[in-house]
Chains A and B, each alone.
Chain A
Amino acid sequence: MGRGIQLEIKRKIASVKSTMHMTRAMEMVATARLQLLKKNLRNFYEYEKALSSAFEKISSSIEDLDEVKNLIWRKVPSNAMIVVITGDMGLCGSYNDDIIEAAYDREKALGKTFDSFYVIGSKANKRMKFDGKKIRNSITNMYSKPFYDDAQSLSNELLRVYREGQIDCIEIIHGYPKSSLIQSITDEIFLPIKIDKKSQNASYDFEPSAEEMFEIIMPQYFGSKMYRILLESKISEQNARQNAMRNATENAKKLIDDLSLKYNKMRQFYITQEVIEITNSSEGLKGEE
């Protein structure tokens, strides 16, 4: 053994240390983003609650459902499109792959009634292209926090695709933040919608008519639904990233501990060896006198 190994360990420690700095910084970035997103979602729930109840009331007071019946659940769909939402960036554990796997499982379960994928996020886009899946459209590079306008235009786009008539069901598979440690995946049906025809107890005045109101509120309703989904999946992604980076930092810490122990042991070994060599040689010299 030579001093070379000792030097190498020293270098390794330095490299692990710099990696650790990076993962720790990324963890902190994820935490900061998470706080922002969570605040956003809290504020948004108020809006969604009010909007959903308004939507229900309006849709249940429409007498003539002819105009809107295309959007309402009537039969088991025969051509389903699956929207897959993943992140654009890696370094978040198995988050992206879990969602893609769930989407593939769903595709298998749908069998013949599956039509195509609609991909959001470059991670899923790359993987699905590689696997040769049928992709109708893909949207990538939505790095920062989702904006309401983006969600609105996305939902309008989905509505347009739905109205073209080739597909009769849109499902969205996305990450859902169950808790900060557990990320689950949900599968919700975006279109068509299920409306309960409840009897209306309060009689409302409509300005304009209920049918026109429905036309106006519908894009707003789907936009807000989309915004919630985007927010939730982003939160889930940042949660996953935070956890992955925390684990990585902890692992790096452990690695550094192990390596420094090894380094110190080796250093001690050389010192002892040198002391022995010196005393031995001085003993030897004594004998010669």
Chain B
Amino acid sequence: MFRLRIITPEKVVLDKMAKFTEFRTVNGAMGTLQNRLPFFIALDIAELEIEQEDGHRIFFAVHGGIGEFFNNTFTILSDAAERPEDIDIERAKRSLERARVDIEEVEEVRRKELETKIQRALVRLKISTKKER
């Protein structure tokens, strides 16, 4: 069991004990249990899966950021972290469509921005359909 904290600029989204977390760094998928060696990771825009104390699994859509595991505390600092029920599916769909149209006719500089946008929308949509167990 270790302490898991998810902090965004707006608020502390989550602060509780967890058995296991699975996340995706910019290099690939990773997971951690308790008492791991300290690490720093750079998170991708992806889903985050948490197994709680009672074995119940919950999901978050995490929009980049970093994570630090130290002293049996896992701290995730991200621009945004959303639960499936917080996600506005219609809005995500609209934003995805718009970004896909825009990306066709945009120059190189703004492309990255739109790619991020698409990724965010995709993660949101993916998370919103997940069933929590």
For the complex formed, measure the closest distance between the CB of B118 and the CB atoms of chain A, giving whole angstroms: 17
Residue of B nearest to A53 (CB): B68
**25 A-B pairs, CB-CB below 8 angstroms?**
A43-B9, A43-B10, A43-B12, A44-B9, A46-B12, A47-B7, A50-B7, A50-B75, A50-B77, A54-B68, A54-B75, A54-B77, A148-B9, A148-B79, A152-B79, A202-B70, A204-B40, A207-B27, A207-B39, A208-B26, A213-B42, A213-B66, A217-B42, A220-B77, A224-B9
**Docked pose: A148 CA to B81 CA in angstroms:** 14
Contacts A44-B9, A227-B9 hold; do A54 and B65 have CB atoms under 8 A apart?
no
For the complex of A and B, the 3 pairs showing the least CB-CB separation, nearest first, are A205-B39, A148-B9, A216-B42
The answer to whether A207 and B25 touch across the interface, beta carbons within 8 angstroms, is yes
Bound together, the chains give a CA A265 to CA B11 distance in angstroms of: 59
Bound-state Cα–Cα, A202 to B68, Å? 12
Q: Would you give the shortest CB distance from A131 to chain B, in whole angstroms?
A: 35
Q: Are A208 and B7 in contact (CB under 8 A)?
A: no
The answer, yes or no, to whether A167 is at the interface (CB within 8 Å) is no
Which interface residue of B9, B38, B41 has the most chain A CB atoms within 10 A? B9
Task: Tell me if B101 is interfacial: C-beta within 8 Å of chain A.
Answer: no
The reply to whether the CB of B37 lies closer than 8 angstroms to some CB of chain A is yes
Decide yes or no whether A128 CB sits under 8 A from chain B: no
State A227–B77 Cα separation when bound (angstroms): 15
A217 cross-chain contacts in B, Cβ below 8 A: 42, 66
For the complex, would chain B's binding face be called helix, strand, loop or mixed by DSSP majority?
strand
Q: Which residues of A contact B40 (CB under 8 A)?
A: 54, 57-58, 204-207, 210, 213
What mask results when residues 16 to 45 of chain B are scored 1 for a CB within 8 Å of chain A, else 0?
A: 000000000111001000000111111000
Once the chains are docked, how many angstroms separate the CA of A156 from the CA of B129? 34
How big is the A interface, by class?
20 to 34
Please judge, given known A-B contacts A50-B77, A148-B10, A216-B26, whether A202 and B38 are in contact too, CB under 8 Å: yes
Task: Check if A279 is an interface residue, CB within 8 A of chain B.
Answer: no
B contacts with A, residue count (CB < 8 A) = 24
Query: Does chain A have a CB within 8 A of B8?
Result: yes
Q: Name B's A-contacting residues (CB within 8 A).
A: 5, 7-12, 25-27, 30, 37-42, 65-66, 68, 70, 75, 77, 79
Name which residue of chain B comes closest to A203, CB basis.
B38
Pairwise interchain contact A216-B66, C-beta atoms closer than 8 A = yes
The complex places the Cα of A206 from the Cα of B38 at a distance, in Å, of: 9
Question: Is the CB of A15 closer than 8 A to any CB of chain B?
Answer: no
Q: How far is the CB of A28 from chain B (nearest CB, A)?
A: 25
A216 to B5 alpha-carbon distance, docked (Å): 20
Q: How far is the CA of A205 from the CA of B41 in the complex (A)?
A: 8
Q: Are A40 and B10 in contact (CB under 8 A)?
A: yes
- Give Cα A185–Cα B5 distance, bound, in whole angstroms: 34
User: How far, in angstroms, from A46 to B65 measured CA to CA in the complex?
Assistant: 15
Q: Which residues of B contact A203 (CB under 8 A)?
A: 37-38
Report if A250 contacts B (CB, 8 A): no
- CA gap between A212 and B40 in the complex, in Å: 11
Bound together, the chains give a CA A44 to CA B41 distance in angstroms of 21
Is A51 interfacial (CB 8 A cutoff)?
yes
Cα A202 to Cα B65 with chains together (Å) = 22
Complex Cα–Cα for A122 and B75 (A): 39
Q: Name the residue on A nearest B11 (C-beta).
A: A43
**Among the listed B27, B37, B77, which residue makes an inter-chain contact with A51, where contact means beta carbons less than 8 Å apart?**
B77
Interface residues of A in 1-55 (CB under 8 A from B): 40, 43-44, 46-47, 50-51, 54
**Interface mask (A209-225 → B, CB under 8 Å = 1, otherwise 0):** 01011001100100010
**Residues 103-141 of chain A, each 1 if its beta carbon lies under 8 Å from chain B, else 0:** 000000000000000000000000000000000000000
A203 to B36, CA, bound (A): 12
Could you say which of A47, A152, A205 contacts B77, with CB atoms under 8 Å apart?
A47
